């Protein structure tokens, strides 16, 4: 019985945190899990994992993460330790510090960008909003 419960808990831990399309959140989030945002988020989001901002997602604040895939709109600073992938539907306005960058044609990228490669400083933090 305990083995089954443990198995179910591990299945849940593999799922990303999700902010749905009709959800609006204001505040700061610190996590070690993946995040997917399809709604609106205002605040600072810090995770040691990956962030995906969906096509209809809007983030007004700062992001600090290992990897990010942006399809929606970001207004704020981004610090991405590894890969920042900006899709054609994305719009970014702010300051960006990254390890690697991939931008699809059609994306709006109004940002100051510092590319640190594999040597990105762990202590780089986005400006406070």
Asked if the model's pLDDT at residue 125 lies above 60, the reply is no
Helical segments of 14-123, H only? none
pLDDT in tens, 62-93: 999 999 999 999 999 999 999 999 999 999 99
Report the distance separating Cα 17 and Cα 111, nearest Å.
27
Is-contact 30 13, C-beta < 8 A?
A: no
pTM, two decimals, is 0.82
Is-contact 20 2, C-beta < 8 A?
A: no
HSE-up (13 A, CA, CB side) for residue 72: 20
- Write down the pLDDT at residue 118: 61
- Write down the pLDDT at residue 16: 80
Report the distance separating Cα 85 and Cα 66, nearest Å.
12
């Amino acid at each position: 019985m305990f083995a089954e419960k443990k198995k179910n808990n591990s299945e849940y831990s593999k799922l990303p945190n999700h902010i749905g399309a009709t959800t609006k959140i204001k505040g700061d989030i610190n996590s070690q899990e993946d995040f997917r945002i399809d709604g609106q988020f205002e605040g600072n989001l810090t995770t040691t994992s990956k962030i995906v901002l969906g096509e209809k997602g809007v983030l007004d604040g700062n992001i600090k993460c290992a990897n990010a895939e942006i399809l929606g709109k970001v207004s704020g600073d981004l610090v991405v330790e590894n890969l920042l992938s900006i899709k054609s539907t994305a719009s970014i306005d702010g300051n960006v510090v990254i390890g690697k960058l991939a931008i699809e044609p059609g994306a709006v990228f109004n940002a100051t960008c510092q590319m640190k490669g594999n040597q990105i400083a762990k202590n780089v933090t986005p400006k406070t909003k």
